[in-house]
Amino acid sequence: MKQFTCFLFVFWTAVSCTQSKKQADNIPVSVDNIQYSKGYTIERHSDYIVAEIHDPWDTTRILQRYLLVDRNKDIPAGMPKGTVVRTPLRNIVVYNSVHSSIVELLQAAGNIVGACESRYMDTPVIRELLDKGVIADLGEATAPNIEKMVDIGAEVILASPFRNAGYGPAEKLGIPILECADYMEATPLGRAEWLRLYGLLLGREELADSIFRATESNYLSLAKLAEGVEHRPTVFSEKRFGSSWHVPGGGSYMAHFFKDAGADYMFADLPGAGSTPLAFETVLDKAIHANIWLIKYNQSADMTYTTLRTEYVPYENFDAFKNKRVYACNTAFVPYYEEFPMRPDYLLKDLVWVFHPELLPDYTPRYYKKLTE
């Protein structure tokens, strides 16, 4: 009986020690201070890192938990449940131009082996690698060429998540799909701070932190410059597409830009952080007397007041059209979508120039310019 009791003591002591060891392994050595982003957290353990992506549609849930392990080390025991990702990332497949540009910004374009939606990728380095066949064209993101993805030895996929949507056959490859929800951040600096996570994934932490800190400093300085203006012009944006005009909500990313650049957004009272489709008549009624109209478009020739009127004659009823205060960005010629997500200071400077040109008298805009006749 004594021997049996002794055995039980040793057994439970061993189990207890094992459980304590596992619990100890799951206690982070440090937690990164994420200042602006709401979409992710980083916990650093002695031999792995936990990166959790929050569900942008339900903030009480975790969308994904990634366990980052140095590719030159063994996978440690006692990790929590999650998707193991070997870092630095290699043999990367990107599903959109934004993330290809982020990888290039962090000087890791050589690690991209495949891309979807390649026709939209205009970053010079990425475009050259695509044209040379160094980066394989995998077709559409909604139906990528899975066989080719296997052939090129893809190890990881960078993709933007959408609500209640999966990734089809790509999920069966057994490689990590990193759900990059940066586009769901409500503030410009919140989205830009995702650069720190991408730097961690790519082994470019120091570079990423340097770029983000410069971006933060520039952005806050510009916002401070515009904060004290006496007059805040009114503004609205975009134009009708089909039968609807998709208007950013008052809690949207763009609404934050307008506020920080010293303007009053005409639809600031529209609820939500996304865009709402409105009838043209609704937009006209609300924004007919707005001072400034901002438009983004993609065409082989620059838009003019004549072509804008030809596209839809009722546009001429807006005061901004009558007073020649329409500013447009032709994304066919400038890297707007590729740059501003991680460099919101670039876009903010343009907007400050549009709303308050006297504050930046010698500035040449990067994206927007006044329409001509």
> What residues does 84 pair with on adjacent strands?
67
How high is the pLDDT of residue 122?
86
How high is the pLDDT of residue 12?
44
Q: With b meaning 16 or more CB within 10 Å and e meaning fewer, what string describes 269-284?
A: ebeebebbebebeebb
Tokens of 77: 């025991």
How high is the pLDDT of residue 294?
98
Looking at the fold, whether 126 and 172 belong to one and the same domain comes out as yes
Q: Residue 117: inside a domain, yes or no? A: yes
Looking at the fold, whether 49 and 103 belong to one and the same domain comes out as yes
Coil, helix or strand for 361? coil
How high is the pLDDT of residue 269?
96
Looking at the fold, whether 269 and 332 belong to one and the same domain comes out as yes
Q: What one-character-per-residue DSSP string does 123-178 give?
A: -HHHHHHHHTTSSEE---TTS--HHHHHHTT--EEEE---TT---GGGGGG-S-EE
**Separation of alpha carbons 18 and 10, rounded Å:** 12
The H or E element spanning position 62 is strand 62-70
Order of strands across the sheet that contains 49-54: 30-31, 40-44, 49-54, 62-70, 83-87
The C-alpha angle 363, 369, 372, rounded to 5 degrees, equals 130
How high is the pLDDT of residue 26?
66
Looking at the fold, whether 243 and 350 belong to one and the same domain comes out as yes
Could you list the residue range(s) of the whole structural domain that residue 257 is in? 230-370
CATH number at residue 318: 3.40.50.1980
Looking at the fold, whether 57 and 161 belong to one and the same domain comes out as yes
How high is the pLDDT of residue 272?
87
Query: Which of 178, 212, 246 is a domain's end point?
Result: 212
Looking at the fold, whether 161 and 264 belong to one and the same domain comes out as no
How high is the pLDDT of residue 2?
44
Looking at the fold, whether 158 and 268 belong to one and the same domain comes out as no
How many CA atoms are closer than 13 Å to the CA of 352, on its beta-carbon side? 27
The H or E element spanning position 43 is strand 40-44
How high is the pLDDT of residue 236?
98
Q: Residue 315: inside a domain, yes or no? A: yes
User: Is the dihedral angle over the CA atoms 114, 120, 126, 127 positive or is it negative?
Assistant: positive
How high is the pLDDT of residue 281?
97
Give the model confidence (pLDDT) of 11-59 as tens digits.
444 444 444 444 445 677 788 999 999 999 999 999 999 999 999 999 8
Q: Residue 12: inside a domain, yes or no? A: no
Query: Which of 212, 246, 267 is a domain's end point?
Result: 212
Q: Residue 73: inside a domain, yes or no? A: yes
Looking at the fold, whether 203 and 241 belong to one and the same domain comes out as no
Tokens of 298: 């993609």
Task: Using alpha carbons, select from 187, 206, 185 the residue that is nearest to residue 196.
Answer: 206
Looking at the fold, whether 268 and 350 belong to one and the same domain comes out as yes
Which of the residues in the chain have pLDDT under 70?
1-26
Looking at the fold, whether 258 and 366 belong to one and the same domain comes out as yes
Q: Residue 4: inside a domain, yes or no? A: no
**Pair type for strands 92-94 and 83-87:** unpaired
How high is the pLDDT of residue 362?
94
**Separation of alpha carbons 157 and 93, rounded Å:** 5
How high is the pLDDT of residue 25?
55
Contacts of 275 (CB under 8 A, 6+ apart): 246, 247, 248, 249, 252
Query: Which of 158, 180, 212 is a domain's end point?
Result: 212
State the helix-helix crossing angle for 194-202 and 205-227, rounded to 10 degrees.
170
Domain tally for the chain?
2
How high is the pLDDT of residue 6?
45
Q: Residue 9: inside a domain, yes or no? A: no
Q: Residue 321: inside a domain, yes or no? A: yes
Q: Residue 135: inside a domain, yes or no? A: yes
Looking at the fold, whether 184 and 239 belong to one and the same domain comes out as no
Looking at the fold, whether 313 and 359 belong to one and the same domain comes out as yes
Task: Using alpha carbons, select from 160, 171, 188, 149 the residue that is nearest to residue 37.
Answer: 188
Tokens of 265: 């957004």
